[in-house]
Each structure stands twice: as structure tokens, then as C-alpha cells.
Amino acid sequence: MPEAFLQLDDLRIVAGPRTVVDGASLRLVPGQVVALVGASGSGKTLTARACLGLVDARPGIVGGELTVCDGHTTWRPFGLPKRQRRQALRAIRGTIVGWLPQEARASLDPLRPIGAQVRQVLALRRADGIEVPNDRPDARSWLSSVDLPDPDRVARLYPHELSGGMAQRACIALALARGSRFLLADEPTTGLDPTVQAGILDQLGLLRSQGCGVLLITHDLRIVPRVADQVYVMDRGRIVDLLPATDLAQASSPAAQALVAATRRIAGGAL
């Protein structure tokens, strides 16, 4: 049986006359948190969205390959004709690769309670023939698994009634209930207070221990050593460094060194 993995090779994305991602490559495996860091506008989110076929730019993805393997089936959608590409990306979206957007509340259905949304993804999971764990048969159990307080009450709430941290946890619960092997988390701690940020980072660490592969997109290097195993540094659409998360001082590229130096100034010399 092949190893499960998600891999991008030489991704190239063009928006109008501009090349916004140029030759980006990265790899993600279960049980690992990989951080993708860089300044705002460096191409981090576009790179992650390409893994789900969610690039809105035109002409969009013009080069490279995405390979996704769940341990049984392998998909390589980028080289397929347009219709087959859409079908292949639809097959992995949610079922294999989940998405945790920065604006979690905006990604939830505003007209349905959270519990109903979890039940819907569980129904999709069963329809796809993916077994639901015996210890998590219902919405309450999935909401409880991400440490949402009083999950019975949360299941009855609508998205606008959730705090930012609760909405992020609800989105994590939805991704896990769907059966995602990999989770792409786009700036999941932005705008949250430090206590809630710590809780979200704890959740990402828990996902790693449960065998989920996590791509953490962030521009805040301060949170990286706490939760990540490896760090890809992106600058102007290119991957310019790959570092161990516990030793960011090994940064060799000027862009990575500048990020480390700026973070140390903000953090009072510590990182």
C-alpha cells in the first residue's frame, strides 16, 4: 500500500500579466505540521488554494503538478483536460484535503445551525463509503473533539452567534468529520486573542498526533516553533528556504533572514 502524501511540484500561477507563484514545490505527509511562511502577498494562500482547485486568477495555474495519495488512490489533476481536472479536484476536496479559511465564520452556512452542518458532512462521508468512527457517531461528538464547550448548545447555534475562536474550531470539526487526511489552515490565528490562539494551535498539534497532515499558512514566525515540524519560506511567489521549525536561525535566504530578524524585534529578541 502506498504512503499517503500531498505534493506540489513546480507550481506556477499567472494572474493577468503577472506570475504570482513561480515554481513552488512542497510536500505534506500525515502526522506532520508544515508551516508556509512569508510576507503578505508572497503567494502563500494562492499556493494552498491551488491544492483544492480554488484559484480564481486568470489564466490561473499554468504549470506544475499536484499529486495527492490517500494510501489507496493517487490523483494527478493538473495534467488532465479541464473537465477531468475539475472532477479529480472535486474528488479530493473535503474527502482527502480539507480547508480551514482565515475567515472561518464567513465559510460556514449562515442559514443552518452548526450541528446540521456537521450532520451534512457526515452524510457525505457515509455516501462516499468512508467509515465514521464508532466513538464519534454524531455532531455533538465531533464538536466535543475540538474542545468546544457545551457542544449540545453549540450545535444549535448559527455561525453569527459564534466567536472567532469557536468558528475556527467548528471548521476544524467539519474538516475532520468529512474525513480529511490533510488540512490546509490559512492564517487560523489571525485576529484572535492570545488565549484563543493558543487553543487553536493546541488543536493543530492534536490533529498531528491523530495522523492528520497540516499545512499552516502564517506570516507570524512566533507561533511556528510551538506547533510545526518544518517551515517553507516563500518570497515573491517562490519557495526560498526549507528549515526545521525548531531552528529558524538556520535561515539562509535573505528573505527568511529578514523575517527572522523582524520577528525578533517584535518579540523583544526572542523567537
pLDDT at 1: 52
Mean pLDDT by 10 residues, the chain (271 residues): 88 95 96 94 94 90 94 91 91 89 88 96 87 88 90 96 91 87 90 84 87 92 91 95 89 88 79 66
Domains and CATH numbers, the chain: 5-110+182-266 (3.40.50.300)
The amino acid at 263: T
pLDDT of residue 189: 85
Question: Using an 8 Å Cβ cutoff, are 125 and 177 in contact?
Answer: yes
What pLDDT sits at residue 2? 66
**Within 10 A of 15 (CB to CB), how many other CB atoms are there?**
15
| Terminal CA-CA length for the chain | 40
The rounded distance, in Å, linking the Cα atoms of 253 and 247 is: 14
Nearest Cα residue to 33 out of 249, 200, 185: 185
Nearest to 60, CA basis, from 27, 118, 92, 18:
18
User: What are the angstrom distances between the C-alpha of 267 and each of 221, 227, 239, 263?
Assistant: 10, 17, 25, 6
Residue 253 near residue 55, CB atoms below 8 Å:
no
Residues near 162 by Cβ (< 8 Å), separated by ≥ 6? Answer: 105, 108, 114, 154, 170
Q: What is the pTM of this model?
A: 0.90
Q: Residue 266: which of 215, 229, 220 has the closest Cα?
A: 220
